Amino acid sequence: MLGVIVFAHGSRDPLWRQPVESVAQQIARRDASAVVSCAYLELSEPDIATAARQLVAQGVTRVRVLPLFFGMGKHAREDLPVLMAQLAATHPTVTFEQLPAAGEDPRLTALLAQIALETAA
């Protein structure tokens, strides 16, 4: 069973989480068989270890982690791989896959360019 963790930095402001949760909801709508969770590096709950534990408890055997970072900064380049290694060590029967940072996907940058150039209705 596939699990997806939408991973973001986190914020004390609860409104900040809405776009992150929206991405998770859209993933769940696109694939009803996927188990989807959000996780945060800091300042918000749950953390990635808790989210992974919850997915594994639901029978997930493969977890894809989508980092919602615009670029491949320190968190995506250094912090997340350490967390991924910890997840793999904690759940040795589960496959964990770190996807590229969302902003590294040319489809996203093309969409942002399109949004910037659209004429307001």
CATH fold of 2-117 reads Rossmann fold (3.40.50)
What is the reported pTM?
0.93
Q: What is the Cα 34 distance to its own chain's centre?
A: 13
Cross-sheet strand order for the sheet of 35-40: 35-40, 2-8, 62-67, 95-98
List the pLDDT tens digit at each of the 121 positions of the chain: 999 999 999 999 999 999 999 999 999 999 999 999 999 999 999 999 999 999 999 999 999 999 999 877 787 778 999 999 999 999 999 999 999 999 999 999 999 999 999 986 6
- The partner residues of 110 in beta bridges, in order of sequence, read none
Domain boundaries, the chain: 2-117
